[in-house]
Amino acid sequence: MYPDASALPSFIVALLLAAGQAGATLETKAEETKAETEIAGVAARPPFPVAKPVDRLPHKMFKPGDIYYPEELAKSGVQGEVKLDIVLSAEGKLLSAKIAGSSKSDELDKNALSYANAEGVKWSLPENHPKGENAHYLLNLVFFRDSVLTINLKTCAELNMDLSYFRKANPDDDVRKVASLELIASLFTLQLMKTRGAAEALKYADSLDAINDDTIRACAEKPDDRMIETYVKMAKNHKIRF
């Protein structure tokens, strides 16, 4: 949910050499494919997106209470990440925006498009934007209910709401991937790495699924408890101390 060598590794060098040696073969195959397409009478279409490799723009984060992420929506557990494919002109003007990856929430997807198309949004072109051309970019808009500043205040009842929404939006996914549990895991992993070393962090990682399962069960039983306090108790049961 959120992480120079002076020489290239040997396997990358090997791949580059192989790519160079295969260049002529690829060009020949491309010509053959083009000829076959023309014979079939089918117009060749460039792959999505139509641009030189797609670049990513910096993520945009929305906190509960933002105009595009209303407090009531966040309280109902709705959260996620929207990926937009946007086209910017050479002058930095938005020409189009469409969903490239849904958040699984119609409201969040709609709000993401509203943000992109809103007047007053300033688009800064990357340095490698092709001069005088339009280009596609991927923009990730993140709508997460929790942050490092709010996670300590989160109640088990709020976690239960998050889990309820997650199960509806992602019925085939692992509920341990709910954003608040992943955030806590990231924070405690960093803490253990800093204070107790890699071995303890790895021990924590090995126990993570069990700690998450125990936290989910405990919060279902005692919704008024603080989520972080419940999590720490469950970790102690697995001999993990933060």
What type of residue sits at position 171?
P
> What was the pLDDT predicted at 121?
87
Q: pLDDT tens digits, residue range 204-238?
A: 999 999 999 999 999 999 999 999 999 999 999 99
Question: What is the average pLDDT score of the chain?
Answer: 84
Q: State in Å, rounded, how far the first CA of the chain is from the last one.
A: 20
Sketch out the chain's domains with CATH numbers: 55-143 (3.30.1150), 151-237 (no CATH)
- Phi and psi angles of residue 94, each rounded to the nearest 5 degrees, phi first: -70, 125
SS3 12: helix
Give the pairing of strands 55-56 and 135-143. parallel
pLDDT of the residue at 146: 97
- Average confidence (pLDDT) over 180-197: 97
33-57 pLDDT, tens per residue?
A: 444 444 444 444 444 444 444 688 9
Q: What's the one-letter identity of residue 138? A: L
Q: Poorest-confidence range of 52-61, 151-160, 177-186?
A: 52-61
Question: 112-122 pLDDT, tens per residue?
Answer: 999 999 988 88
Please, is 42 exposed, middle or buried when counting C-beta atoms within 10 Å of its C-beta (0-12, 13-18, 19+)? Answer: exposed
* The pLDDT value given to residue 127: 87
Please tell me the predicted confidence (pLDDT) of residue 102.
97
- Given a contact cutoff of 8 angstroms between Cβ atoms, the answer to whether 52 and 130 are in contact is yes
Whether 8 has a pLDDT exceeding 70, the answer reads no
With contact defined as beta carbons under 8 Å apart, do 68 and 142 qualify? no
Model pLDDT for residues 70-90, shown as the tens digit of each residue: 999 999 999 999 999 999 999
Asked if residue 128 has pLDDT above 80, the reply is yes
Q: Confidence band (pLDDT; 50, 70, 90) for 169?
A: very high
For residue 101, give the nearest of 86, 74, 81 by alpha carbon: 81
Residue 203 has pLDDT above 50, yes or no: yes
Provide the CA 60 distance to its chain's centre, in angstroms: 11
Residue 129 in this model has a pLDDT that exceeds 70: yes
d(CA 67, CA 238): 42
Nearest to 240 by CA among 216, 197, 211: 211
**DSSP helix/strand/coil, 67:** coil
- Percent with pLDDT over 70 in the chain: 78
